[in-house]
Structure 1
Amino acid sequence: METPREAGARLPRTVRIQTADFDLGAEVAVLRAGDHGIGAVASFIGTVRDRNDGAAVAGMTLEHYPGMTEKAIDAMVDAAAARFPLLGVTVVHRVGPLAPGDQVVLVAVASAHRGAAFQACEFLMDYLKTQAPFWKKEQTPQGGRWRAGASRPGMRTARRPGSRRRTAARARHRRRSDPGPGRGLTEA
């Protein structure tokens, strides 16, 4: 029976933040290259919608903190590798101005079996949607509006650049009260 990767073992991965578009076929080809133990690749591509919360969206701009964002995503890939028997992961997230229909994010996960690939893909995408340090400004007919990183009530959100920072004590309390994906769960 396969088990999640042992602590300290480095999972092959690609984590990129970029302005350019990506090609799913090319990314999966690199992910699979030379590893004939891969029996499943699950992927998710997120795109820009033309409507959000009932309002028309003409476009959006995504911002991030270079270096910090990649480090946070890399840590979540490590958490996924500790939970699921993975053979490789690719995460590509775009930043900058984007138009409706543009690809925003790719998560591709390789494993020997489909169950682990699907679960890890969902685990990583949930993290990206709710925890990763990205900030989104939508352009609507009424003007620009900053949107939280999470669109569901009760989910933790990242603050946009330039907003008030949390104190360390407040951040610790928030982590204890809202563990978010991948935190506060015990391993079997």
Structure 2
Amino acid sequence: MTDHVETPLLFLDVDGTLLPYGGARLPSSAEEWDGWQDTSNPQLAKIDRTHGPRLLALPCVLMWATAWMDDANEVIAPLLGLPPLPVVGLPDAPEEEETGALHWKTRALVALADGRPFVWVDDEITALDRAWVSRHHRGPALLHRVAAMTGLTGADFAVIDGWLRERRRRTPAT
């Protein structure tokens, strides 16, 4: 197996994950203040620009898994200092979420992963999604739910990074 095949995928949501629904986080450094007012959408002021380097440091292949689709590369990636990322082809998001239904992204993410280890970071993951993935995905998977009001936190990064590094430790060298 090649390193590329074994490198886990990380499917990354935007709304509620990178863009929390709670209050805006104020910049903590002079560098962050630069360009703070550059965004035309006030919701974008909530993004934590330190997430970009933290995401890039994770031992995985980053992919957008969001209703933003290609707009994530146009708007979100530059704010975080990320290069353009692959965008998961997702079905159209439903107008209304059905209570007790499988998330609209779940099947597409499992199909794309095709047995490869993956992390899915989203604010809408449920026990039903976890159960479905455990039955239909033949590789390891971490479905990590983020609190929508706060978005990604240091604790979330610690869980994700720990899981990814454990996968790397368990994968024999080829």
Larger relative contact order (C-alpha < 8 A, sep ≥ 6)? 2
TM-score, normalisation: structure 1: 0.28
Higher strand share: 1
Higher helix share: 2
Bigger radius of gyration, 1 or 2? 1
TM-score, normalisation: structure 2: 0.29
